[in-house]
Structure 1
Amino acid sequence: MAILLVPGFMADETLWNDMLPALERFGPIVHADLRHDTSVEAMARRVLETAPPAFLLVGFSMGGYVARAIARQAPDRVRALVLVATSTRPDTPSLQKRKGAIGAAAPSIAFSGLSRVAVASSLHPKQRDNEAMIERVRAMGVRLGGEVFRRQSMLDRPGDLERSHEIRCPTLVVAAAQDRLRSIEEAREMAAAIPGAVLEVVEDSGHMIPIEAPQRLLEIVVPWLAAQER
């Protein structure tokens, strides 16, 4: 069985580096490519074109929206679903306004990665001066580049709470206790809406759980995935 990892906004495959040795026990690791498309559904279709016939699926943040779309589009191929630091809620009006401003910006404007302030806001407050961690997050955006930044910034994330009943595979929802981007309330409503979903909370972490608290995330995800294989 393969395990398909779906990253979040302006994150690449290195998001999962600290978790790969433990996840490899479940089979080959496959990384979703979210660089090219302008809708969640199109991203999901592209991922499915090259994905294995059957797989375990893990989606982080924006990747959680894509992972749920994958589970809806190919229910017979997804054996289990893990949703990390994500939501079923649509973009807020303020976020839509910011996206419009980004879309109106000239494509020629140089992109040098997410700002230090933006990255720090996604981390636990205790990590606000952790330069190595901040730079690791920023470096992912630099590698992806300006075109991907504009494309992903303009991505419409419609709410899909009302479609949660369409997800029929075993589902684990993981939230961070100190996530300033996605609240525990969002995780609770998502877990309550997906049939049979289980909710777990990672303490002492901000939004970037795979980087901030990879071992604690593994302590939740690995036993749960192992139980789905029985």
Structure 2
Amino acid sequence: MILYPAIDLKDGQCVRLLRGRMDEATVFGDDPAAQARAFAAAGCEWLHLVDLNGAFAGRPVNAGAVEAILAAVDVPVQLGGGIRDMATAEAWLDKGLARIILGTAAVEDPGFVRAAAGRFPGRVAVGLDARDGRVATRGWAEQTDLAAVDLARRFEDAGVAALIYTDIDRDGAMGGPNVAATEDLARAVSIPVIASGGVARMDDLTALRDTGVIAGAISGRALYDGAIDLRAALDLLRA
């Protein structure tokens, strides 16, 4: 199972939100590239970035910070937030991103997601952000009645590289991930599933890994707070 250290970008800074609320942001640093270098130096295999402003605006907002990170590290980087058309997707991939994450577009424009996955094989993931199993869009500000598993199944034959499942109510709350819901999703589809939201301690990573079906886990606040030591976590998962 791959551990993805998270760098969430708001106004050019590294932040973590509580349950997706922009007015409850904790700033962890004003140099995202330096944070990326620190994660890479610890041995991470991937980095997970989110343009939080972009998710609300529907277009890239923290492009400068993302580009600085891409210039600072050699590890593959995935990015979500504000990518809702082919031109934006292509521009980001041309800049060196290994993978883009499409969330709102998966609900509002599934044809675009399918087209992007076909055009950029292995480089498009779908973000499934859910409250009580129902998908939320536009920076988690708009709730739908669509079940996350139903949305996931729509892309089974699209060539999507991964599904990133976030339990919004657990995100940034340090209360543990929704292992059961993530495992259920991973067993319901053939697309690799990455868990996001609530990873707070080493035991959480072990629980996700031991399902045997979850491909990755994203952690942010726990790494910044020191609740999880990145080097130790990577050693654990590699063992």
Q: TM-score range by the shorter chain?
A: 0.3 to 0.5
Structure showing the higher strand proportion among its residues: 2
TM score, norm. by length of structure 1: 0.40
Higher helix proportion: 1
Higher RCO structure (Cα 8 Å, ≥6 apart): 1
